[in-house]
């Protein structure tokens, strides 16, 4: 079990959007896919691009630097399953969003 951090509210991020959030020593990419929230490590495994600033479409984020794609629900690339980023559990309580990060 990791540690739970409050990272905002559901009003902070519209459906179809993502953003970068710094939590403790982690950089998280938070995404809203039709009202469900997902969190990935923000750092693209290719060259370190900010996934939270990428284009989000149908649950797939495209890295803004060179176009690698990741399924935001799993962190795995739909094209190359060996390319993946860590995904973190997200909880919504009322309007508050929490992410669970490793200790």
Q: Residue 97 half-sphere exposure, CB side, CA atoms within 13 Å?
A: 21
Give the nearest distance from C-beta 22 to ligand FES in angstroms. Answer: 19
Q: Are 19 and 52 in contact (CB under 8 A)?
A: yes
Q: State the Cα–Cα distance between residues 97 and 7, nearest whole angstrom.
A: 6
Residue with smaller CB distance to ligand FES, 2 or 67: 67
Residues 36-95 that bind ligand FES (CB under 6 A): 44, 46-49, 63, 65-68
Give the nearest distance from C-beta 58 to ligand FES in angstroms. Answer: 19
Give the nearest distance from C-beta 11 to ligand FES in angstroms. Answer: 29
Q: Are 10 and 95 in contact (CB under 8 A)?
A: yes
The contact mask relative to ligand FES for 4-43 (x = CB under 6 A, - = no) is ----------------------------------------
Q: CB neighbours of 6 closer than 8 A, spacing ≥ 6? A: 96, 97, 98
Q: Site residues (CB under 6 A) for ligand FES?
A: 44, 46-49, 63, 65-68
């Amino acid at each position: 079990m990791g540690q739970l951090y409050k990272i905002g509210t559901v009003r902070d991020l519209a459906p179809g959007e993502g953003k970068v959030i710094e939590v403790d020593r982690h950089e998280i990419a938070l995404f809203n896919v039709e009202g469900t929230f997902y969190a990935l490590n923000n750092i693209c495994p290719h060259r370190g691009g900010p996934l939270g600033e990428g284009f989000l479409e149908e649950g797939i984020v495209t890295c803004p630097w060179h176009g690698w794609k990741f399924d935001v629900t799993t962190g795995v690339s739909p094209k190359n399953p060996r390319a993946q980023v860590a995904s973190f559990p997200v909880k919504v309580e009322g309007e508050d969003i929490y992410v669970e990060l490793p200790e």
